[in-house]
Amino acid sequence: MKDVKGLKRVAIAGFGVVGRGLAKALVTKKDVLIKRAGDYRIAAICDSKGGIYSEEGVDVFEAIRIKEKEGRLPEELTVEDIIDRIDILFECTPTNVETGEPGLSHIKLALENGVDVITSNKGPLVVGYKELMKTAKKTGAKLMYEATVGGAMPIIKLVKNELAGNEVLSIKGILNGTCNYILSRMEQEKMPYSQILSEAQELGIAEADPTYDVEGIDAAAKLVILANSLMNSNATFSDVERTGISSITPEAFEIAAMKGYTIRLIAEATRDELRVSPRLVPFNSPLCVYGTLNAALIQTDLAGEVVVMGRGAGSSETASAMLSDFVELSRCGSK
Amino acid sequence: MKIQVLLSLVLELKDKPGQLLRAIEPISRLGGNIIGVVHKRDRVSPLERISVEISVKIDEGRVEELIEALKRNGVVVKAYNEVRLVASTSLLLVGHIIHTDLSDTVNTIDATGFAEVVEMHISMPEVNEPSTAMVTVSATGKDELKKAVSLLKETCRKKDIMVIEPLNEDLA
């Protein structure tokens, strides 16, 4: 139930880098957001170990201070405890592409209770897209997920709104900034993969265990979301043919360059197949981007080819995507 | 559009200076594009002629003319065969390309009758380290090219060689 004045009570589940970035943005951008999305207050924040709740609104910066000092939020609180006291749930828990948890349960619970959800978590959508959409349709709650693919790069709402009426024939994209960083550095420095990987790890661009990125798992998860939501597929993670970048040699770049190509990890969705693999990309292709950038080339029946590019990761970038969903929610009439 | 063919010529030349030019001049005059020349100096015929294999991309309608011109130039044309090749693409292979029988890998494509490997660059930085090769495959049509590429991918999968395909769906 909404407050009398239409004030929206929001909660944040997951208080890691993404959740904290979002919380900060909700506070610092409040003046602008109120005009676009109406008044709101952060009623609750939950992390994996605890939470914090206040009917008058949580002191976000105090919560961040506690979290960074104690490693958890103070009260014994779960999403279940607060679900009947909120209107919108921001789901920012870590991705698990196999089980979708804990995000999947959070989102299910919210949608079943008519609470709108804005998520940055790929797992629940990869595992249960159709089911979640069905639940949302039944209760009239909305599920928004721009932040799951491409970070700040607009792609989901771009296709759904701006390109509405088009049929998407194919999507080819660079959906993982870590891989793109490694490959573009290998191209420029002619250094072996292992050396560039350690460089990326030192810079915090790659994780200590880089498997999730370099084996194309992250890109494949995003591709499944794009295919299901924009191409009306019914794909799951195992439908993606996947090859990682770890065995690419520095010589590969030299030889490819002789023919006018470089190498990038491309996620491609067509009507027939989904695949994530290193591909030869012409130097003059719009997908020949450098560093941690993401890019996508969307082929449509009416508009032809549309290209988007932007920053695919980072806490403020993810917050940007979630805020755009937040504004969109109120624009299309939350509940 | 004029249909281009890939013409493989097996020629015999006298072992004297300027003979290769006699073979090449008519090719260039008729607008052929030489893809490869293999000069087999170790294979001397009883008449002391040297065998040369030349691959040329040329308009289909000019093949007969070329053969005649070569003969007029005193070049012996031992054999030739033309393959209609209208589509081609380049692919990168990364892995133990040499140790897994390269000729067998290439033959996967050449044996189809509708496609062949027309060019290859290999880089082998160190013994026992993975090699990298850029392979250009030409075929008689787009569908044939797709078929050839998927055959190559299958062979490479078995040999644990990574295939990096070009982005363009339009393989021509």
Q: CA-nearest residue of chain A to B120? A: A255
Tokens of A214: 């370099």
CATH number of the structural domain A8-149+315-331: 3.40.50.720
Residue A316 confidence (pLDDT): 92
Which residues of chain A lie closer than 8 angstroms to B130, CB-CB? 247, 249
A222: annotated active-site residue: yes
User: Which helix (H) or strand (E) covers residue B23, if one does?
Assistant: helix B19-29
Of residues B121, B133, B167, nearest to A279 (C-beta): B167
Q: CA-nearest residue of chain B to A252? A: B132
Which residues of chain A lie closer than 8 angstroms to B91, CB-CB? 280
Question: Please, which pLDDT band fits residue A288 given cuts at 50, 70 and 90?
Answer: very high
Residue B3 confidence (pLDDT): 67
Within a domain: B32: yes
**Chain B interface with A: residues with Cβ < 8 Å:** 90-92, 94-95, 121, 123, 125, 130-134, 162, 164-169
Within a domain: B141: yes
Phi-psi label, residue A133: left if phi above 0, alpha if psi -120 to 50, beta otherwise: alpha
Question: What's the domain range around B45?
Answer: 4-84
B18–chain A nearest CA distance, Å: 31
**Bridge partners, residue A306, by sequence:** A298
Question: Please, which pLDDT band fits residue A335 given cuts at 50, 70 and 90?
Answer: very low
B48–chain A nearest CA distance, Å: 39
Q: Quick one: what percent of chain A has pLDDT higher than 90?
A: 93
Which residues of chain A lie closer than 8 angstroms to B162, CB-CB? 243, 247-248, 278
pLDDT in tens, B36-88: 898 877 777 787 888 899 999 898 889 999 999 999 998 999 998 887 667 88
pLDDT in tens, A162-206: 999 999 999 999 999 999 999 999 999 999 999 999 999 999 899
| B149: helix, strand or coil | helix
Strand A240-242 relative to strand A8-13: parallel, antiparallel, unpaired?
Answer: unpaired
Per-residue HEC secondary structure of chain A comes to CCCCCCCEEEEEECCCHHHHHHHHHHHHCHHHHHHHHCCEEEEEEECCCCEEECCCCCCHHHHHHHHHHHCCCCECCCHHHHHHHCCEEEECCCCCCCCCCCHHHHHHHHHHCCCEEEECCHHHHHHHHHHHHHHHHHHCCCEECHHHCCCCCCCHHHHHHHCCCCCEEEEEEECCHHHHHHHHHHHHHCCCHHHHHHHHHHCCCCCCCCHHHHCCHHHHHHHHHHHHHHCCCCCCHHHEEECCCCCCCHHHHHHHHHCCEEEEEEEEECCCCEEEEEEEEECCCCCCCCCCEEEEEEEECCCCEEEEEEECCCHHHHHHHHHHHHHHHHHCCCC
Q: What is the CATH number of the domain that holds B65?
A: 3.30.70.260
Q: Where are the domains of chain A?
A: 8-149+315-331, 160-311
DSSP code, position B11: E
Question: Please, which pLDDT band fits residue A81 given cuts at 50, 70 and 90?
Answer: very high
Q: Do A280 and B169 touch (CB under 8 A)?
A: no
Q: Which of B84, B107, B138 is the last residue of a domain?
A: B84
Looking at the structure, tell me whether residues B66 and B92 fall in a common domain. Answer: no
Q: Do B94 and A249 touch (CB under 8 A)?
A: yes
| Arithmetic mean of pLDDT, A198-225 | 94
pLDDT in tens, B19-47: 899 999 999 999 999 988 988 777 777 87
Q: Which of B64, B84, B104 is the last residue of a domain?
A: B84
Q: Do B167 and A285 touch (CB under 8 A)?
A: yes
Q: Do B90 and A280 touch (CB under 8 A)?
A: yes
Which residues of chain B lie closer than 8 angstroms to A276, CB-CB? none
Which residues of chain A lie closer than 8 angstroms to B134, CB-CB? 255-256, 258-259
Q: What burial class does residue B170 get, using C-beta atoms within 10 Å of its C-beta: 0-12 exposed, 13-18 middle, 19+ buried?
A: exposed
- For chain A, the average pLDDT equals 94
Question: Please, which pLDDT band fits residue A4 given cuts at 50, 70 and 90?
Answer: very low
Looking at the structure, tell me whether residues B92 and B106 fall in a common domain. Answer: yes
Which residues of chain B lie closer than 8 angstroms to A298, CB-CB? none
Q: Do B134 and A279 touch (CB under 8 A)?
A: no
Q: Do A248 and B168 touch (CB under 8 A)?
A: no
Residue of B164, B165, B169 best to disrupt the A interface, most CBs of A under 10 A:
B164
Within a domain: B28: yes
Within a domain: B16: yes
Looking at the structure, tell me whether residues B9 and B76 fall in a common domain. Answer: yes
Within a domain: B171: no
**Chain A interface with B: residues with Cβ < 8 Å:** 170, 172, 243, 247-249, 251-252, 254-256, 258-259, 261, 263, 266, 270, 277-282, 285, 287
Q: CA-nearest residue of chain A to B95? A: A247
Q: Which of B59, B84, B109 is the last residue of a domain?
A: B84
Looking at the structure, tell me whether residues B56 and B102 fall in a common domain. Answer: no
Picking from A44, A47, A119, A51, the residue whose alpha carbon sits closest to that of residue A84 is A44
Domain count, chain B: 2
Looking at the structure, tell me whether residues B39 and B80 fall in a common domain. Answer: yes
Phi/psi of residue A57, nearest 5 degrees: 115, 135
The one-letter code for the residue type at A144 is M
Residue A1 confidence (pLDDT): 46
| Arithmetic mean of pLDDT, A150-168 | 94
Of residues B94, B134, B165, nearest to A248 (C-beta): B94
Within a domain: B134: yes
Q: Quick one: what percent of chain A has pLDDT higher than 70?
A: 98
Q: Is the ipTM of this complex over 0.90?
A: no
Within a domain: B44: yes
Which residues of chain B lie closer than 8 angstroms to A287, CB-CB? 167
| Arithmetic mean of pLDDT, B102-122 | 90
- For chain B, the average pLDDT equals 88
pLDDT in tens, B127-158: 888 999 999 998 888 888 999 999 999 999 99
Looking at the structure, tell me whether residues B98 and B141 fall in a common domain. Answer: yes
Q: How many CA atoms, within 13 angstroms, populate the side-chain half-sphere of residue B165?
A: 21
Q: CA-nearest residue of chain B to A281? A: B167
Residue A188 confidence (pLDDT): 95
Looking at the structure, tell me whether residues B46 and B79 fall in a common domain. Answer: yes
Q: Do B166 and A280 touch (CB under 8 A)?
A: yes
Residue A5 confidence (pLDDT): 59
Which residues fall within 8 angstroms of residue B151, CB to CB, at 6 or more apart?
B108, B109, B112
Looking at the structure, tell me whether residues B116 and B147 fall in a common domain. Answer: yes
Q: Does the pLDDT at position A132 exceed 70?
A: yes
Q: Does the pLDDT at position A314 exceed 90?
A: no
Residue A333 confidence (pLDDT): 64
Which residues of chain B lie closer than 8 angstroms to A280, CB-CB? 90-92, 164-167
Catalytic residue among A138, A157, A222, A335: A222
Of residues B131, B162, B164, nearest to A280 (C-beta): B164
Tokens of A48: 């994996």
Residue of B123, B132, B153, B159 best to disrupt the A interface, most CBs of A under 10 A:
B132
Tokens of A52: 């914090």
The class that CATH gives domain A160-311 is alpha beta
User: CB pairs below 8 Å between A and B: how many?
Assistant: 66
Within a domain: B172: no
